[in-house]
Structure 1
Amino acid sequence: MITEGNIIKIAGPVIIADGMRGTQMHEMVKVGSDKLIGEIIELEGDTATIQVYEETAGLKPGEKIESTGGPLSVELGPGIMGSIFDGIQRPLEVIKEKTGDFIERGVDVPSIDKEKKWTFKPVAKVGDKVQGGDVLGEVQETSAVLQKILLPPTIEGTVKSIVSSGEFTVEEDIAEIETADDVKKVQMLQKWPVRKGRPYKDKLDPDVPLVTGQRTQDTFFPVAKGGTAAIPGPFGSGKTVTQQQLAKWSDADIIVYVGCGERGNEMTEVLLEFPELEDPKTGNPLMDRTVLIANTSNMPVAAREACVYTGITIAEYFRDQGYDVALMADSTSRWAEAMREISGRLEEMPGEEGYPAYLASRLAQFYERAGRVNTLGSESKVSSVSVVGAVSPPGGDLSEPVTQNTLRICKVFWALDASLADKRHFPSIDWLQSYSLYVDSVQEWWKETVGGDWRSARDEAMVLLQKESELQEIVQLVGPDALPDSEQVTLETTRMLREDFLQQNAYHEVDTYCSPSKQFQLLSTIILFQKEANKALERGANSKDIIGLSVKEDIGRLKFIAEDDFPTKVKSVQEEIIKQCGEV
């Protein structure tokens, strides 16, 4: 039943309406003569508080509110991949064709093209017993993504009929499922409420790393598949660039990039660059396996609050098909600011720094939808959604509420340092402030896949970098020459760790990506230099002679050696280290 109410008060993106008895929390409504999209966020008797996802200027008391009977939902099916949506899943390219460069209020365009025909190939057969999550058929959506058409989670029964291979729109019936009660018709198009997580069988331990090809992240501060990571840092420290590098090189099958309230120029850069990027896995455009959700800081603030839910729901949809998905949210600070503004309009009691008291629980609700799971279906698949959220604390102050609440939830903390970014050190992750709680979980994977004692090499390098921090304070007071020989060698080793291992050139065709095996061998080579140099010191060698060894230049060039030639080259460099340190 459609309920109609009337506006009685307007406060920016928040409006109050009466006559709304019979509606439900989070129900979607159409507001005013322009039918602006809104969502009920508070109900008291027949009075509803609605947040409107479009500009409310021009609305006046007395205008009609019409309920839609359902919650704010996204459309899922062929046609999502490679699209650019706004915060409530309206395709921006289609809107541009319809209204020009500026989005008109109330513009009504379908999220997914309902007229385009897709080549559907059935997988299920008549008579098969099926349950929610089972694959009915497949559609080759892009060169990189074979979309599996799943039976909706709520349906279970026997396949009564299924179409043969052919061209169909997303709204045409492709199968009939005979359930215990009646016969259900199934289409390729599904709808799912954004604030409700899609179901799965069970959640697995995050013990497989999300390999990013970035040495700092993979070796020192790894994130697991199905894990959560936060990238806090001040303006200009490289949050967006780091996320784009992860989107390009991480071993996720699908990328969902949510530009959540970032500046228009930053989002424009993403929208212009991503379609041009080449996918290193396939050689085709990276957009073939990417979904972009663009919601800039000058777009309606309420839609910013919804855009992260839109993104995570799309990510869960591809997770259910058996894909590993990486979601980049840039940035959750702008999302929290949208909550703060809506909360202020609702005249709620503010928490710390004006943010709503429920800030921590909303952040937790978002991040907890990440995970590595066994999917629904007769044959469950292991797949994951990993979430990397950028945080933009004002002035780089990591003690502010959004950063602190994010740290309580996320298990990886990649703290960006503006001073490192100023030195052109990429990625500008501060190795003294950052941490990962997945190190224990993924060490078995490193041992089995890469071999060798990855954990001890990593821990030894971390100890050396911590030692360097302490020594630098002494060096600033008395100079490096006043240090004992062993500590001068330690400073030289840590310089190599910083410049030859931690620093990476995103524009270099070889150094932009470093495999786990290459990372471990490169780190082991630097640690070998430290050990052999200390042995030489014990035999009475001079630190200046060790620091002057020519093999250091060979170590510095190792990261630019192609993967195929690397094993031979690194072996010869390690032999040279032992030889030259032995001759000092």
Structure 2
Amino acid sequence: MDSVTTGKIYGINGPVIYLKDKTEFRMSEMVYVGEEKLVGEVISLDKDLTTIQVYEETSGLCPGETVEATGAAVSVTLAPGILNNIFDGIERPLERIADNGGAFITRGVSVDSLDMNRLWDTHITVAVGEPVHAGTVIAEVQETQAILHKCMVPPDVEGIVVSVVPDGDYTIHDILVVVEMPDGSRKELPMMQRWPIRVPRPVSHRFPATVPLVTGQRILDTMFPIAKGGTAAIPGGFGTGKTMTQHQIAKWADADIIIYIGCGERGNEMTQVLEEFSELVDPKTGNPLMDRTTLIANTSNMPVAAREASIYTGLTLAEYYRDMGYDVAIMADSTSRWAEALRELSGRLEEMPAEEGFPAYLASRLSAFYERAGMMQTLNGETGSVSIIGAVSPQGGDFSEPVTQNTKRFVRCFWGLDKSLAYSRHFPAIHWLSSYSEYLNDLSGWYADHVSPKFVDYRNRMMAILNQESSLMEIVKLIGGDVLPDDQKLILEIAKVIRLGFLQQNAFHKDDTCVSMEKQFKMMDVILYLYKTARHLVAMGQPMSVLKAEGIFEKVIAIKYDVPNDNLQLLDLYKRDIDDFYNRVIAKNA
């Protein structure tokens, strides 16, 4: 821009400021507000008034101060250096801010999103005379020990390469390749590119869900699976384990890259995440887990407008790595606090409120967010995915509130956390009766090919037992369990084995924290074999009291601790123990 577009502040209402009269600003343009150059975004324009939301604290601003346009939308910098980093909601690196200004973010702080001076060992992958188009990989950089960063042609560039630099050490703003465009103009391409956070990055094709995102958590992988490129919601009241469930998925899921967005989280929770993740070792590579992780920390005391933007910042970073052909998992914790930021800004703008004061466009914003997930064919022919797992924090654990209800419309996986399970120390506290996954049929072919053709059948049989238990518990509450016939007592006992031995999982036990699909299937096989054997004994007239006295149910519950993950052959011995139990009961009562 030759001359900078400016305006004068007319009114201030919290994070929302107004400029009077017609201005030359553009919708969604990033602006600098006041003498301290606070970052803001244009959110409304008419001939008499321009409305801007400010991503920083507005205390001390006064009418008459100048607002400067930047000529570009709110964007993130995409280049090597994103991984193993911690950003705020608008991609400012918190460690560098702390080095410059202390523990609290000072207003108007201006630091580069990524290190502009660091030299990266760069391998150029194109040659002079080669045609390139959107998504073509022009250079490769080993960003961390775990991830090879592929520098790509931006989506709006195509042409013929006219010059390249030799392999060597370069900064992210050094020109690597020059491309001659079809109109004869020349475009210089560094490693770095910018992308507006509210615009999805383009892809060539969206694939249907066919591959699960294996998390190592039995209740998720077996009962309510999520696909790679899928969407899931984890709703639950305070203390039910939303954050811990997301931590477990982040640590153990078979995604290449994890982006954790702490949106409106308490500061101490975010501190715990930062400390834990920096100490964790990646089980796949033995390297630090942070080598393939990016954290976006937007705590509850940070300005609400930046909280609203943080979700899109994380999503854009995820799409960038997806375009390289990686599987990315986003942990958004929590979308409820993001929705509360929307509600606060909407109130400041005096928009007509909908249910519980949330703006009428809450549903469309949620759908636009979850719609950016998916398994995609990228512009360069690679296959990559973005999976979104969003925590929802309904007030008082009420799942009928608007954020939970609207989220249910747009996700295909619902992991409902239950307060009573959490209080009885059953973790993960995902309730098997209120949860569901619409991916099960889509993924059945993968389970049949990679685990066992019986996998889905076994899963359905276990769910049927849990549903029968729920019905029987209504009777037990009214008249007690002693009056039930033995076949129904057996269902209650097997359901207990499923709940304690399979669904309950200990995140702090070395063999139970993450369980392979093979072990999950073999555990189901043993439990259902026990059910079949015990049902045969009951049909022969053996009382449940005799069966329980043998201790076989407790032994099967302990499988998860007693069988190491590297010695699954031991699981085959449990069937022999069940056969011995059968023979003992028959012999005693012969």
Specify the TM-score bucket, using the shorter chain as the normaliser.
Answer: over 0.9
AA aligned to 1:266 is E
Pick from 217, 223, 226 the counterpart of residue 220 of structure 1. 223
Q: Does 1:565 find its partner at 2:567? A: yes
Match of 1:372?
375
1:29-48 residue pairs with structure 2 within 5 A? Answer: 29-45=31-47, 47-48=49-50
1:18-37 correspondence runs (5 A): 18=20, 21-37=23-39
Contact 2:128-2:163 within 8 A present in 1 as well: yes
Q: Which residue of 1 aligns with 2:313?
A: 310
Match of 1:538 in 2: 539
1:435 corresponds to: 436
State how far apart, in whole Å, the 2-side matches of 1:132 and 1:582 are: 69
Residue 194 (1) aligns with residue 201 (2): no
Structure 1 unpaired stretches of 5+: none
The answer to whether the 8 Å contact 2:21/2:47 transfers is: no
Q: How far apart in 1 are the matches of 2:522 and 2:428? A: 20
Deviation at 1:582, TM superposition (A): 4.5
How high is the TM-score relative to the length of structure 2?
0.97
CA contact (8 A) 1:25 1:41 kept: yes
Deviation at 1:454, TM superposition (A): 1.1
Instruction: Find the partner of 1:69 among 68, 71, 78.
Output: 71
Tell me how far apart the structure 2 counterparts of residues 46 and 79 of structure 1 sit (CA, whole Å).
43
Whether 2:131 is the aligned partner of 1:125: answer no
Which residue number corresponds to residue 174 of structure 1?
Answer: 176
Taking only aligned residues, the RMSD between alpha carbons, in angstroms, comes to 1.1
The alpha-carbon deviation at position 457 of structure 1 amounts to 0.7
Residue pairs, 1:319-334, within 5 angstroms: 319-334=322-337
The answer on 1:337 being equivalent to 2:340 is yes
Query: Which residue of 334, 352, 358 maps to 1:349?
Result: 352
Corresponding residue number in structure 2 for 1:521: 522
Tell me how far apart the structure 1 counterparts of residues 500 and 127 of structure 2 sit (CA, whole Å): 58
Task: Provide the residue aligned with 2:53 in structure 1.
Answer: 51
* Aligned pairs for 1:31-430 within 5 A: 31-45=33-47, 47-181=49-183, 182-377=185-380, 380-430=381-431
Q: Distance in 1 between matches of 2:20 and 2:169?
A: 47
Give the structure 2 partner of residue 452 of structure 1: 453
Please give the per-residue CA displacement for 1:247-295, whole angstroms capped at 9, x wherever unaligned. 0000000000000001111111112211111111111211111000000
Which residue pairs with 1:551 in the alignment? 552
What displacement does 1:583 show?
A: 4.2
What is the distance in 2 between the residues matched to 1:288 and 1:481? 56
User: Distance between the aligned counterparts of 2:427 and 2:489, measured in 1?
Assistant: 25
Query: Contact between 2:22 and 2:46, CA under 8 Å: does it hold in 1?
Result: no
Q: Is the 8 A contact 1:81 1:288 kept in 2?
A: yes
CA contact (8 A) 1:20 1:47 kept: yes
Alpha-carbon distance between aligned partners in 1 of 2:173 and 2:529, rounded to the nearest angstrom: 62
Shift of 1:136: 1.0
The residue type paired with residue 52 of structure 2 is I
In structure 1, the residue corresponding to 2:265 is in which secondary structure? coil
Q: Summarize deviations over 1:424-482 as a string: whole Å, max 9, x none.
A: 11101011100001010011100000013111111111111011111122222332221
User: What SS does the corresponding residue of 2:262 show, helix, strand or coil?
Assistant: strand
Q: Distance in 2 between matches of 1:538 and 1:425?
A: 32
Distance of 1:107 and 1:191 partners within structure 2? 20
Alpha-carbon distance in 2 for matches of 1:350, 1:183: 50
The secondary structure found in structure 2 opposite 1:70 is strand
Q: CA deviation at 1:184?
A: 1.2
More deviation in 216-225 or 271-280? 271-280
How much does 1:101 deviate? Answer: 1.1
One-letter code of the match for 2:486? D
The 8 Å contact of residues 6 and 65 in structure 1, kept in 2 or not, is answered as yes
Instruction: State, as a whole percentage, how many aligned pairs show the same letter.
Output: 54
Shift of 1:22: 2.4
Tell me, in whole angstroms, the C-alpha distance in 2 between the residues paired with 1:353 and 1:513. 40
Q: Which moved more, 1:479-488 or 1:167-176?
A: 479-488
The alignment of Structure 1 onto Structure 2 pairs a total of residues equal to: 581
Q: Which amino acid aligns with 1:334?
A: R
Contact (CA 8 Å) 1:323, 1:383: kept in 2 or not?
yes
Q: Note the C-alpha offset of 1:580.
A: 2.1
The answer to whether the 8 Å contact 1:6/1:19 transfers is no
Would the aligned equivalents of 1:5 and 1:20 in 2 still touch at CA under 8 Å? Answer: no
Quote the residue 2:588 is aligned against: none
Amino acid paired to 2:44: E
Q: Shift of residue 207 of structure 1?
A: 1.3
Q: Distance in 1 between matches of 2:124 and 2:556?
A: 55
**Deviations along 1:511-558, whole A, 9 cap, x unmatched?**
101011110110121111111111112222222222223433432232
Q: Which runs of 5+ in 2 are unaligned?
A: 586-590
* 3-state SS, counterpart of residue 482 of structure 2: helix
Matched residues in 1 for 2:129 and 2:577: separation? Answer: 68
Please give the secondary structure, in 1, of the residue aligned with 2:464.
helix
Q: Is the 8 A contact 2:469 2:491 kept in 1?
A: yes
Q: Distance in 1 between matches of 2:564 and 2:137?
A: 41
What CA distance in whole angstroms lies between the structure 2 residues aligned with 1:4 and 1:424? 58
Q: Measure, in 2, the Cα distance between the counterparts of 1:71 and 1:178.
A: 26
SS in 1 for 2:72: strand
> For residue 527 of structure 2, what is the amino acid of its counterpart?
I
**What is the alpha-carbon distance in structure 1 between the residues aligned to residue 145 and residue 18 of structure 2?**
47
